[in-house]
Structure 1
Amino acid sequence: MGNCGTFRHRGHTCLARVARCARYAAHPAAFRAAPVVTSATHEGRGYPLRLLVLFAFTLTLALIWLVLPLERGTVWTLTVACTLAACAMLAWRTRQLANTRTQNTQALAALGTVTSAIPDGMHSGMPLVLLTGDGLSELFDRDDTTRLAWVGDGAIWLRVDEPNALPRLAAAVKQWRNGRAPDGVVLSIAPALHANADALAQKLRLVRQAMADASRMLGTRLPGYVAVYQRLAGRGPIALSARDHVTDGPQWYGAASPTPLAGASAFEAAIRAAKDAVQKTSRIGDAVARTTSAAGIASIVDWTQRLVMGVLLDRQQPAAPWPLHGAGWIDCGPASWPDSPWEREIELRTKVAPAPVAASPSPWPLPQPLIETMPVQRKTSSRLAALGHALALLACAAAVAFWSSAKNNEALLTKIGADLERFHAIPAANDAAKRDALVPLVAARDQLDRYARTGVPLRLSFGMYHGAELIVPLNSAIASYVAPAPPPAVVTLDSMSLFDSGKAQLKEGSTRAMVGALEMIKAHPGKRILVAGHTDNVGDPPSNLKLSVARAAAVRDWLVDALGISATQFAIQGYGDTRPIADNGTQEGRARNRRVEITLVPDAVQ
């Protein structure tokens, strides 16, 4: 037929040509029904969605915990959200598979029965067609009136009694065929079985919606075909006798294409071919018979275009248009009566009152010619498809990991660079701030050293790590810090060189003894100074305490005058004889205990 063309075939003779295909020639028994072996031979080999969900969940958790630059709170929030989403998807998929197995057990069992003799793997290579619509009992009445599936010469036919079951049955078939969707859907229509056009239109809308749902569920558009079964021969006052025919069985007329058919023009050639066939198969001189038969063919085609295609292809309907790849008509079908809509249609067009026609004997021929130009599906295993999707997920995760590693390394370099700039910007005189800025540098250097010894963490790796380049500038900055010389803890002044015995006034010339104290205070401006007086144990303790306080105050006053600083920077304290540094039992010890101590107060104490 080429890419698109008409066909005219005897009811079953065209099947022999398909049976002679080279890929099936080695298994001639594969196309006959066989005894029951099992109905689950090929079940459970569909797309492993649950396994892919677990794989995606594992990748996501790895990225969240090991790579992404996130706060701990955000990490836990995303972990909980991903866990709930994965559990919900797994539960939904498990329930869907259970429902599919439960709802389609009978049909899948029939498939397993009729294909049990086909070599393993060939069942997914043979065309599998879903057949729904009118006359299913007569079409599948081979040796069992309840048969749901049939292996013909070159195709597997699966019966769909209810259009609503089409989506889930198509999904079950895809799983049964190891991820390959059905090759097409054939809608059989027997005009004589429909009482009026409205009821037919409503049924066609249901079929159209079911087809759209199935295509959406499978992720691919299924080719659609229309097969019309209607008795056409023997109409009018002059009927064609058996000897007038050059064929011995009903013939198919129509058009089919690997690509969707567009508009009524696709069937014009089919109508012409049908009329030519009628002319050839009628006896010369039977003009009325030829005219009536040709009018019948033209009428059924026109009826199909108006009442069937008009509903299936109308773009104003909510469901997607029927993906029509072929339509065929055959002089075979149920009995008809004069008052049926179809008979009235013939009478209006031919102006001849039709006679009743008996039903064709079962089984009716399957519409094999329609599917001979069926589009070839890509035979991609669902396992291979899942592997491809897993690799795609892995590639996406790798891209996210590279991006996250780049961001993490950028943040690390930015932080260490900012810490180095801050450290170098602080003057050496501000030792406290300098030491504070030194702490993060030491921590960063230790961290980079640890990475060099034990390995770079995953969040910084993937070839993006440049932290080793910062170890040298960090060590240089740390080594550049020089701590200032510590101030003398205490300057001790001999009281006897400053004061007369029992007095608190400084003696003349005693100021030379306090030069060291002056130098110490000048070297550390801003420091608070504690001046403490001490005595030996000669005399009563209250007098000694009062004397020590007075001597400390005298030294403080002299330092204030000498340095020109505020008295509030000083603190005085008298201890009397309570803190000796030597033995008061000896003259030398008592001399050492009579002293004034000048101490710089540490910053922490301030």
Structure 2
Amino acid sequence: MGDCGSPRHRGRSRLARLARRPRCAACPFAIREASVVTSAANEGRGYPLRLVVLFALALALAVIWLVLPLERSTVWMLTTVGTLAALAIVAWRTRRLAIARAQNAQVLAALGTATSTIPGGMHTSMPLVLLTGDGLAALFDRDDTTRLAWVGDGAIWLRVDDPNALPRLAVAVRQWRDGRAPDGVVLSVAPALHTNADALVQRLRLARQAMADASRMLGTRLPGYVAIYQRLAGRGPNALPTGNIATDNPQWFGVASITPLASTSAFETAIRGAEDAVQETSRVQDAATRTTRAAGIASLVDWTQRVVMGALTDRRQPAALWPLHGAVWIDCGPASGPDSPWERDVELRTKVAPASVAASPSPWPLPQPLIEAMPVHRRAAPRLSALGHALALLACAAAVAFWGAARNNEALLKKIGADLEHFRSIPATHDAARRDALVALVADRDRLERYARTGVPLRLSFGMYHGAQLLAPLNDAIASYVPPPPPPAVVTLDSMSLFDSGKAQLKVGSTRAMVGALELIKAHPGKRILVAGHTDNVGDPASNLKLSVGRASAVRDWLVDASGIPTTQFAIQGYGDTRPIADNETQDGRARNRRVEITLVPDAAQQAPSAQ
């Protein structure tokens, strides 16, 4: 629906089988004289990829260095790789933004100028349509061929004169709209502007390739629409209004869907809708006129399906298929004569040449009904998206940190448990090994006590720390260690210096040899004293045993008298020749074997461990 004769009022309707009665909407506006608005502000509101990458790097480094159970070499390797990757992404993004600003500066400035009066944020919420194809000068404004954009009724229409510029312009629009791609691409087709069908098909293939390139560069499929501008009824430019709605106010009719159309059924629906529309809106005309008009509309729809959509959806072409979501037709457009592609097709099929008609007054109506059928994309603002991504990264970092803390605590408990088990498995007789194991237990206990005083480190935190429960077993194990008694102090006396051969009575003056033993006994009053006698193997063993006992008794008696220590602190033992310390085959060896040993032994009560 629209008024081809009104330069400033364009109708709109709900797109169904046919447009209903015309109704005038609010006047759209275009900015002719406006202050130049730079695009830097809009660019600044885009997705902050560099900040997100740096935030992700900071989280990764924090988790790697503070939480994860990794070797130091692995930590440094991951830090180097992650930092270089993040810096590469930041540099790549910075370079791309600089190139995009340089390439799209003119487009962004024109968009900012054309939409300077739109309230903030509306440039991302209003539908934005790229319009390319035929008759763009008449669609936008014939007296201003440089106009880039038109802010119409509920949409921003962006003019693309050269289809080859469509991909770059689509990328610029996404940059200008803070990351939101255009909502659709409308291809306007005016058959009367082409000399033959082959030239039209070549232009359609060019638009198809541009659409495929734009979708590839944006990473998304843009909805495609086709608007056919073709005069069906004659009306001279100076003729007075006839009062005929079908002639004075040609209406839009067509089909559209939020999903790609099935070409056959969709176009059959459009033909039936067009025929019904002619019957409803042409009651003032005679039956012949209505029939002729309905046949022309049906022929135009059929021609569009075969020629236009055939070129856009031909699978033999290398470019991707045109994603058709809607097609509309209007009895409006340039002057039509017998040489235009559609008229030739009609004449070829019906043997009747359509009458020539004059051009519609400009500007032509924009295919506004397509706006209401475009898919609605609910998209969060780039800053909100970045915030959501930051929260997602934070959640991932937290999950990895929880995992790392769990692994660290598991390793801590396993090590302390292994140290405890190792200490308990060592026999008491292996004191050196027990002492080494005790050192490890003391280090474990000191570490857990330090955590209790100063706080648990981050790598063991996040609610995973259970080291406090091991303090009691560690203290019990450490307290259970009892050092072995010290080796006894032994004083060896030469029997020949104390006794005559074969005698057990001390010689006169022999006491001087026992002064050292007496001083040792007095220095350790709490010790028990064992006096043991030994002989060589000369003579009868029984006699030697008796002699060793007698000599030990003699030494004991003298020490009791000299020290004043009770006799109960002493013990005597005779070994005879059973414990030699040298070879009895030599004279020197036998001399060494004839001896009396005085040994200090700790009292049994003193050897018991204390409670402490």
* Band of TM-score, shorter chain: 0.7 to 0.9
**Which residue type is aligned with residue 377 of structure 1?**
H
SS of the residue 2:483 aligns to: coil
Q: CA separation of 1:115/1:316 partners in 2, compared to 1, >3 Å: closer, same or farther?
A: same
Q: Specify whether residues 65 and 310 from structure 1 end up closer, same or farther in structure 2 by C-alpha distance, changes over 3 A only.
A: farther
SS at match of 2:145: coil
Tell me, in whole angstroms, the C-alpha distance in 2 between the residues paired with 1:159 and 1:107. 11
Aligned counterpart, 2:202: 199
CA drift at 1:9: 6.4
Give the conservation status (yes or no) of the 8 Å contact 2:171–2:181: yes
CA contact (8 A) 2:66 2:458 kept: yes
Q: Distance in 2 between matches of 1:195 and 1:181?
A: 33
- Structure 1 position 447, deviation (Å): 1.0
Shift of 1:566: 11
CA contact under 8 A between 2:171 and 2:218: conserved in structure 1?
no
Q: CA offset at residue 76 of structure 1?
A: 0.7
Q: Counterpart of 1:533?
A: none
Summarize the alignment of residues 166-177 of structure 1 with structure 2, pairs less than 5 Å apart. 166-177=166-177
SS at match of 1:8: coil
Pairwise CA distance, 1:206: 0.5
Q: CA deviation at 1:191?
A: 3.2
Matched, 1:39 2:50: no
CA distance in 2: counterparts of 1:142 and 1:563, whole angstroms: 131
Alignment partner, residue 212 of structure 1: 215
- For residue 132 of structure 2, give the secondary structure of its aligned residue in structure 1: strand
Specify the code of the residue in structure 2 equivalent to 1:485: P
- Residue of structure 1 equivalent to 2:282: 281
AA aligned to 2:406 is A
Cα distance in 2 between the residues matched to 1:132 and 1:438: 85
The 2-side partners of 1:509 and 1:97 are apart by 114
For residues 343 and 124 of structure 2, the distance between their equivalents in structure 1, rounded to whole angstroms, comes to: 43
Kindly report which structure 2 residues correspond to 1:43-54, keeping only aligned pairs within 5 A, or say none.
43-54=43-54
Alignment correspondent of 1:532:
none
Q: 2:538 maps to what in 1?
A: none
SS class of match (1:104)? helix
Distance 2:251 2:448 in 1: 85
The equivalent residue for 2:135 is 135
Structure 2 CA distance for partners of 1:346 and 1:222, relative to 1, 3 Å:
same
**Any conservation in 1 of the 2:190–2:334 contact (CA below 8 Å)?**
yes
Q: Write the letter of the residue equivalent to 1:6.
A: R
Q: Structure 1 466/142 Cα, relative in aligned 2: closer, same or farther at 3 Å?
A: farther
**How far apart are the structure 2 equivalents of 1:250 and 1:2?**
13
| Cα contact 2:404–2:459 (8 A) shared by 1 | yes
Deviation at 1:302, TM superposition (A): 1.8
Which structure has the larger Rg over C-alpha atoms? 2
Supply the distance in 1 between the matched residues of 2:82 and 2:264 (Cα, whole angstroms). 52
Task: Name the SS for the 2:43 alignment partner.
Answer: coil
Distance 1:318 1:596, change over 3 A: farther
Deviations 1:366-424 (A, max 9, x none): 11111123333325221111111111111111111111111111111111111111111
Which consecutive unaligned segments of at least 5 residues does structure 1 have? Answer: 20-27, 520-558, 573-594, 599-606
- Counterpart of 1:80? 80
Amino acid at match of 2:34: V
CA deviations over 1:126-177 (Å, ceiling 9, x no partner): 2222212333233222542011111112221112334454444334333433
What amino acid is aligned across from residue 428 of structure 1 in structure 2? A
Residue of structure 1 equivalent to 2:455:
455
Using the alignment, how far apart are the partners of 2:301 and 2:45 within structure 1? 42
* CA distance in structure 2 between the aligned counterparts of 1:566 and 1:9, rounded to whole angstroms: 132
Deviations 1:245-266 (A, max 9, x none): 4342443221123444333212
Is contact 1:46–1:174 with CA below 8 Å preserved after alignment? no
> Structure 1 CA distance, aligned partners of 2:159 and 2:312?
20
Distance 1:344 1:477 in 2: 105
Letter of the 2:206 partner, please give it: K
Q: How many residues align?
A: 508
Q: In the alignment, what sits opposite 1:534?
A: none
Q: Secondary structure at the match of 2:185?
A: strand
Q: Indicate if the aligned counterparts of 1:4 and 1:257 stay in contact, CA closer than 8 A.
A: no
**Aligned positions of 1:281-300 closer than 5 A:** 281=282, 284=285, 287=288, 290-300=290-300
Q: Shift of the alpha carbon at 1:73?
A: 0.8
Whole-angstrom distance in 2 between the partners of 1:200 and 1:517: 125
| 1:456/1:3 CA distance change after superposition, 3 Å | farther
Q: Does 1:484 align with 2:476?
A: no
- Comparing 191-200 with 88-97, greater Cα deviation is found at 191-200
User: 1:39–1:111: 8 Å Cα contact kept in structure 2?
Assistant: no
- C-alpha deviations, 1:209-243, integer Å up to 9, x for none? 13532552xxx5543321122333349xxxx9974
8 Å Cα contact 1:3-1:258 kept in structure 2: no
One-letter amino acid of the counterpart of residue 33, structure 1: I
Question: Where in structure 2 are the equivalents of 1:61-140 lying within 5 Å?
Answer: 61-140=61-140
Q: Matches of 2:386 and 2:86 in 1, distance apart?
A: 17
Distance 1:50 1:33, change over 3 A: same
Q: Do residues 8 (structure 1) and 9 (structure 2) align?
A: no
Quickly say closer, same or farther: Cα 1:174–1:473, change in 2 above 3 A: same
Instruction: Label 1:205 to 1:142 Cα distance change in 2 as closer, same or farther (>3 A).
Output: closer
**C-alpha deviation, 1:60, in angstroms:** 0.8
Post-superposition offset of 1:34: 5.3
Specify the alignment match of 2:348 in structure 1.
348
* Secondary structure, counterpart of 1:302 in structure 2: helix
From the superposition, tell whether residues 444 and 153 of structure 1 become closer, same or farther in structure 2 (CA, over 3 Å): same
- 1:158 and 1:509 mapped to 2: Cα distance? 134
Measure how far apart 1:492 and its partner are. Answer: 3.9
Q: State how far apart, in whole Å, the 2-side matches of 1:271 and 1:329 are.
A: 11
The residue type paired with residue 281 of structure 1 is S
Distance 1:212 1:565 in 2: 102
Q: 1:157 aligns to what?
A: 157
Cα distance in 2, alignment partners of residues 371 and 427 from structure 1? 89
SS of the equivalent of 1:116 reads coil
Q: Indicate if the aligned counterparts of 1:132 and 1:187 stay in contact, CA closer than 8 A.
A: yes
Cα distance in 2 for partners of 1:396, 1:316 equals 47
CA contact (8 A) 1:35 1:116 kept: no
1:286-435, aligned counterparts within 5 Å? 287=288, 290-313=290-313, 321-335=321-335, 338-354=338-354, 357=357, 359-378=359-378, 380-435=380-435
Instruction: Name which of structure 1's ranges 296-305 and 191-200 shifts more when overlaid on structure 2.
Output: 191-200
Cα 1:157–1:563 change in 2 (3 A) is farther
| TM-aligned CA distance change 1:335 to 1:102, over 3 Å | farther
Distance in 2 between the 1:59 and 1:2 partners? Answer: 53
Q: Is 1:444 aligned with 2:451?
A: no
Give the partner amino acid of 2:282: T
Shift of 1:80: 0.8
Deviation at 1:467? Answer: 0.7
8 Å CA contact retained: 2:253, 2:270? yes
Give me the whole-angstrom Cα distance separating, in 2, the residues matched to 1:432 and 1:317. 87
CA gap 1:486/1:210 in 2 versus in 1, 3 angstroms: same
Instruction: Answer yes or no: is the 8 Å Cα contact 1:335–1:360 preserved in 2.
Output: yes
Other-structure match for 1:493: 492
* Residue 468, structure 1, aligned to residue 468, structure 2: yes
Q: 1:473 to 1:164 in 2, by over 3 A?
A: farther
State the distance in 2 between where 1:295 and 1:597 align. Answer: 139
